Structure 1
Amino acid sequence: MSTITTLTLYPIKSCAGISLQAAIITAAGLSHQHVHDREWMVVDQAGQFLSQRSHPVMALIVPSLQADSMTLQAPGMAPLEIPTVQPEAAQAASMDVTIWDSSLSARDCGDAAAGWFSQVMGQSCRLVRFDPEARRLASKKWTLDVDAPTRFADGYPVLLISQGSLDDLNQKLQAQGSAALPMNRFRPNIVIDGVDPFEEDFAAIIQAGAARLQPVKPCTRCPIPSIDQATGKFGPDPMDILLTYRGNPRVDGAVTFGVNALLLEGAGEILHIGQSIELELDF
């Protein structure tokens, strides 16, 4: 039987995730306690997004959710508490931000948050929140012209990986004397089990209750899987071995691991650990 084994919400882009027993699936990704996936983002003074690619220490910024707030912890820092209740639009300061090829207005989270993040990151930066009035869509090159909203994710609402795919990679790593890696190196929202390694690559539809997910693009991998999410330091790096068997001609030979997906039906459905799923394959 194929099931969901892990659900992870990443409130702040490139920071640690929150492991959940259940989460609401929306068109823009997972949600829990009115907090959405990649709803916040750290930017430099020019509004350009920052990530673990240049600041691996972001892996050590750990969020936890309370009723109306989110507490952030980082080594050597006093906890930072930020509200999760959206302020009235008239009371929200705005800032123009850029993430990849998207430019949009976001809500600035204030000087206290900016100072805290600047100290952790070692450079002047600010925390911003996705503006509910903003609109950012996944690339229609891959969504087949479907409007798929996303927030500050790299490009798509959901990243899904099978446990079998990681097990296959770890077998290869261990065969050459390297340590096995945890799934958090690849930062998926949904992990499934009970399918063959990389079977998600060939799924046309993934059905979980009333939620109908469509994988639309293989996930190309950047240097982040080489960052230990427990230490915020590089190594060991799985990319060398992935290069030997995971180059994907659909994306000009780039290494892929996992699939980016969008929601076709079932917005508001609750996904939960242990939930049965069905894959419709399209070879």
Structure 2
Amino acid sequence: MQLCSLYRFPLKSGSAELLDEGWCDELGLYGDRRWMVVDAATGKFLTQRVLPRMALLAARWQGDTRLLLSAPGMDGLLVPVPGPESVARGVLIWRESLQASDAGDAAAAWLTQLLDRPCRLVHLPNAKGIQIDQDYARVGERTAFSDGFPFLLIGQRSLDDLSARVGQLLDMRRFRPNLVIAGSAPYAEDSWRRIRIGDMEFRVVKPCSRCIIPTIDPLNAERDASREPLATLMNYRKGDGGVFFGQNLIGEGTGKLRVGMPVEVLE
């Protein structure tokens, strides 16, 4: 088995960035989901669940100090990483309330125009990571603006099997994983408890319950009228608490990942 794809999402619910290699830090893949769009009035996080157009919103790191925002029909905008003097904004992601750094009025105006609702862009410094649910994590283990865990893993053959059941080739980016594994049997990842990729070890802590986002085509931001592939997943991947596809992981320590690295199941 090997790591066959590595994805980063600099902006929560923005488009995927395909990497050849990446560093894993204390919050997950370096630069992953460190930015988030929030409602300007309430601070509540915004995603493709209610704003499918976010699938076409690209956010790409320019070194470590700036983010480039781009989208169809919009001029690109360079956004500096907020400094210590930036405004702290109260934000809400699921049930977690925290303070994040506001990225300024220019970014807010750009996103408000794109998404047609008042919003702000916020950034999460490494020092302000979010404690992972302690039912699955140790005290001090943190993530960024993910839906709960630092890494999401899917086996390529799991997607191949789902595509065959749906009757169309599905884009892996619908499911927004960080790590895609080649060479394992379909859904083999369901039984893994601990793995090693290169020199990095990961705990496999929880199946990923799926929302409506996989029904959105990442190429055109359109929802599937038949609610595929979620409708098919409901037939054979439904369990207590939702419909599951992929596994959430927590990394142990820091290190580099590179496409082509061997994957070993330790437990």
Distance 1:194 1:10 in 2: 24
Counterpart contact for 2:14–2:57, Cα < 8 Å: yes
Q: Partner residue of 1:78?
A: 75
Q: Superposed, which structure 2 residues align to 1:35-74 within 5 Å?
A: 36-45=31-40, 46-67=42-63, 68-74=65-71
Counterpart contact for 2:57–2:71, Cα < 8 Å: yes
Secondary structure of residue in 2 paired with 1:71: strand
Distance 1:151 1:135 in 2: 5
Distance 1:74 1:101 in 2: 30
Secondary structure of residue in 2 paired with 1:12: coil
Normalising by structure 1, what TM-score?
A: 0.89
Residue segments in structure 2 that go unaligned for 5+ positions in a row: none
Counterpart contact for 1:105–1:131, Cα < 8 Å: no
Q: Partner residue of 2:256?
A: 270
Q: Superposed, which structure 2 residues align to 1:213-224 within 5 Å?
A: 213-224=202-213
Tell me which amino acid in the other structure corresponds to 2:235.
T
Distance 2:140 2:53 in 1: 34
Distance 1:132 1:211 in 2: 20
Distance 1:47 1:131 in 2: 17
Distance 2:179 2:59 in 1: 18
Distance 2:146 2:87 in 1: 22
Counterpart contact for 1:8–1:19, Cα < 8 Å: yes
Counterpart contact for 1:156–1:260, Cα < 8 Å: yes
Please point out which of 94, 104, 112 is paired with 1:100: 94
Q: Superposed, which structure 2 residues align to 1:250-265 within 5 Å?
A: 252-265=240-253
- Aligned pair count reads 263
Distance 2:56 2:148 in 1: 23
Counterpart contact for 2:131–2:139, Cα < 8 Å: no
Please point out which of 160, 171, 177 is paired with 2:153: 160
Tell me which amino acid in the other structure corresponds to 2:4.
T
Q: Superposed, which structure 2 residues align to 1:204-243 within 5 Å?
A: 204-235=193-224, 237-243=228-234
Secondary structure of residue in 2 paired with 1:242: helix
Counterpart contact for 1:38–1:153, Cα < 8 Å: yes
Q: Percent sequence identity over matched residues?
A: 39
Q: CA shift at 1:228, angstroms?
A: 0.4
Q: CA shift at 1:140, angstroms?
A: 1.1
Normalising by structure 2, what TM-score?
A: 0.95
Distance 2:59 2:5 in 1: 17
Q: CA shift at 1:210, angstroms?
A: 1.9
Counterpart contact for 1:138–1:150, Cα < 8 Å: yes
Counterpart contact for 1:148–1:157, Cα < 8 Å: no
Counterpart contact for 2:27–2:129, Cα < 8 Å: no
Q: CA shift at 1:247, angstroms?
A: 1.1
List, as ranges, runs of 4+ consecutive aligned residues in structure 1 with deviation greater than 6 Å: none
Distance 1:169 1:219 in 2: 15
Tell me which amino acid in the other structure corresponds to 1:44.
D
Counterpart contact for 1:214–1:264, Cα < 8 Å: yes
State yes or no: 1:137 paired with 2:131: yes
